[in-house]
Amino acid sequence: MFSFKYMPLAAVAVLMPAGAFADDLVFRFDNNSSYTVVELYASPSDVGEWEEDILGRDVLESGESARVTIADGRRACEYDLRVVFEDGDSIEDTTDLCETESYAVTD
């Protein structure tokens, strides 16, 4: 059984002009499972389809981490995450990426 764990980012107030674009969402994705992650998706929760695979041709071996930047210009914070492992198993979860500094998948 796989599970996700995340560490909330300390709240920081930022003043932006009303017309400014949303900041990029940046978090560290940790593969603390014993399996290789071959696909990683993050889509706003109000979107009915998965966005492109974040890893592309890359994979994330067991014990590795990757810095993930979502620069889609949206103001959404709640994202659905989908992780696909080398054996074809997958898990899905929802998290607030505006409050997430790191996110980990474990066995």
E strand or H helix at 19? none
Question: Would you list the domain boundaries of the chain?
Answer: 3-8+23-106
Percentage of residues in the chain having pLDDT higher than 70: 79
Under DSSP, the state recorded for 60 is: B
Superfamily classification of domain 3-8+23-106: Domain of unknown function DUF5300 (2.60.40.2890)
The pTM is what?
0.78
Residue 35 structure tokens: 């399996």
Distances (CA, A) of 44 to 27, 83, 95: 15, 15, 10
- What are the pLDDT digits (tens) for 61-93? 999 999 999 998 888 999 999 999 999 999 999
